[in-house]
Amino acid sequence: MHTKLILQAIFLGILQGVTEFLPISSSGHLVIAQHFCPEIARFPVSLDVILHLGTLLALCVYFWKDLIEMLLHPRLGIPVVVATFVTAGVVLPFKKIVESFFSSPQLACLMLFVTGTLLFIATKKKGNDWEQVRVLDAVKIGLAQAIAVIPGISRSGTTIVAGVLFGLKAETAARFSFLIAIPAILGAGVLELSDLHGFPLSLLLSYFLGFLASFFSGLWAIKWLLRLLSHTQNALKYFAYYCWLAGIIFLILIRFV
């Protein structure tokens, strides 16, 4: 049983790390995974917090130079702050409604189709060559991030698409998406702290390995996606195909399995 818990924690860590940053929706995959593996849902909330800390650390490690520069020159961090406040202002009043969405794997599957469509639309955008995020861009991207609280709507995918549609280069949009993920993940973790009821020491090894899995898989996903988008934004279409295919397969499995 202990080995099974360890393997599940590692699986969840990899799932969290990869899907948090690739534009395929981490929340959607988690909701669907819980449907097929009910034992996952019985993990304490504290594991979810630990896995998010792993992806948060991955972001901080990868973007440590950007973070230091923003600390030294606060003006550079204004777009990140603006996008964060816009997202929080839209999401927090509807927190209870948003939480109810996580009980429907069918909704997550349908929203994967929406994510795929948005990604595909972004591949058709031409002439986007801006390399600097303006305050107005930050407001729009912050609104896009707010929509992505619905499971199946990818946070990274939606914010990257928004950036591309508003004229940013795909790689610039992705970098900004990852930077605003830092306060977003941190804020979500703080909100989940209210649901914690002690730390189960018996699961310490499982938690630690899950944390490492989310950290290293997240670090890989960030690096790989930025490298991919530095060559062409057309690469987003492959994630669109994945979201459409995954949505269809998961809907069929939910219906017949």
Q: The pTM is what? A: 0.93
Asked whether the beta carbons of 51 and 217 are under 8 A apart, the reply is: no
Mean pLDDT of 186-191: 80
Which distant-in-sequence residues (6+ apart) come within 8 Å of 196 by Cβ?
44, 45, 46, 49
Rounded to whole angstroms, the Cα distance separating 231 from 206 reads 38
List alpha helices for the chain, DSSP H: 2-21, 26-36, 38-41, 45-62, 64-72, 78-91, 95-100, 105-123, 135-147, 155-165, 170-193, 204-231, 236-256
From CA 25, how far away is CA 16, in angstroms rounded? 9
**pLDDT for 106-137, tens place per residue?**
999 999 999 999 999 999 998 888 889 999 99
pLDDT band at 197 (very low <50, low <70, confident <90, very high): low
CB 69, CB 76: distance < 8 Å? yes
Confidence bin at 50 (pLDDT 50/70/90)? confident
Phi/psi-derived region of residue 198, left when phi > 0, alpha when psi is between -120 and 50, beta in every other case: left
pLDDT at residue 47, as a whole number: 76
Torsion (CA) 92, 53, 17, 129 in degrees, nearest 10: 60
Cα–Cα distances in Å, from 220 out to 59, 208, 213, 217?
11, 18, 11, 5
Return contacts of 61-68, CB within 8 angstroms, 24+ apart.
Answer: 61/219, 62/178, 62/219, 62/222, 62/223, 63/175, 63/178, 63/179, 63/182, 66/175, 66/179, 67/182
The full set of domain ranges for the chain reads 2-256
Q: Is the pLDDT of residue 205 over 60?
A: yes
Return the SS3 of 130. Answer: strand
Which residues have CB under 8 Å from 17's CB, separation 6+?
51, 54, 55, 58, 213, 214, 215, 216, 217, 218, 219, 220, 221
Block residue for tokens 């934004």: 233
Q: What six digits make up the tokens of 102?
A: 């996580």
* Biggest alpha carbon–alpha carbon distance for the chain: 56
pLDDT(1) > 60: no
